[in-house]
Amino acid sequence: MKHAYVFPGQGSQFSGMGKSLYESNEQAKELFEQANEILGFRLSDIMFAGSDEELKQTNVTQPAVFLHSVIAYKSLQEARPDMVAGHSLGEFTALVANGVLSFKDALRLVSIRAKAMQKACELNPSTMAAVLALADEKVVDVCAQVQAESGEIVVAANFNCPGQLVISGSIKGIEIACEQMKAAGAKRALVLPVGGAFHSPLMAPAKEELAAAIEATTFNIPTCPVYQNMVATAVTDPAEIRKNLIDQLTGAVRWTQSVQQMVANGAIKFTEVGPGKVLQGLIGKIYKEAIVEGVS
């Protein structure tokens, strides 16, 4: 039986996250203070007592979820993953867990990524929408049809689990696509309260900035494979990991396919490490026989 450790992405944050770890664990406290110093502001204060609105800011949310997940993982005394994966932002945590990135380098990259994505959102007004109860292939087809007919950017961005996808693109493109998805049989197609088209070509300006930072960062040989969002397969080559991490910003999060591949390669037990239980729910829908637990 193989054991996979998985790490959540943006959207799992909550006020008070990590506070008990800070107060009860000396190593955790040191990492929080290191992060505050690296970032140049007291992220821990916002995590412990910030408002929901403060925590929703991309330049806060991404390092906050990353930091909480890394510290929760390092608090596990006997974590011996056979494989790791992370949903979007969570892939950076996965790469700390398997030794590819140091804590400091990963946090620096997450901060650069968050700021670059925020700037890209301001350059191109855009959004995302959840599509429920429509086959993956049909969602992809509708996106392609809307793009071809309207000239607007619309792509499938997050393959979360069967029957739950997120599409990403221009505001007009998403509005058209939502109507087309419902006409094609989707149970619901809801525009999400997000400020940008993550995992779409509209993130290209952020990709350039992140790529330069990633290329200048040391990537080590992993202690176990990482199942990356871009390819949904086991990756161990540092050069390939680096490329996939860059491409992820404008490419789709293939979470369904990643979990299916982990299962095909022997994973039975999945431990989600970080705030919330989002991935536990998704994994249970992708593979009903999975043993799923969470650590936060």
Task: Give the model's pLDDT for residue 179.
Answer: 97
| Catalytic member of 12, 44, 69, 88 | 88
**250-267 pLDDT per residue, tens:** 999 999 999 999 999 999
With 90 as the cut, is the pLDDT of residue 209 above it? yes
Does domain 2-122+201-295 fall under CATH 3.40.50.1820? My reply is no
With 90 as the cut, is the pLDDT of residue 55 above it? no
- The residue extents of the domains of the chain are 2-122+201-295, 125-191
**Phi then psi for 142, rounded to 5 degrees?**
-65, -40
Report, as an integer, the average pLDDT of 200-228.
97
* Whether residue 20 lies in the annotated active site: no
**134-156 pLDDT per residue, tens:** 999 999 999 999 999 999 999 99
Task: Give the model's pLDDT for residue 177.
Answer: 97
pTM for the whole thing? 0.95
* Whether residue 199 lies in the annotated active site: yes
Question: Measured between alpha carbons, how far is 92 from 7 in angstroms, rounded to an integer?
Answer: 9
Question: Measured between alpha carbons, how far is 135 from 90 in angstroms, rounded to an integer?
Answer: 25
With 90 as the cut, is the pLDDT of residue 166 above it? yes
CATH superfamily label, 125-191 = Malonyl-CoA ACP transacylase, ACP-binding (3.30.70.250)
| Catalytic member of 44, 168, 199, 258 | 199
E-only strand ranges, the chain: 2-7, 83-86, 126-132, 154-161, 164-170, 188-191, 226-227, 234-235, 267-273, 291-295
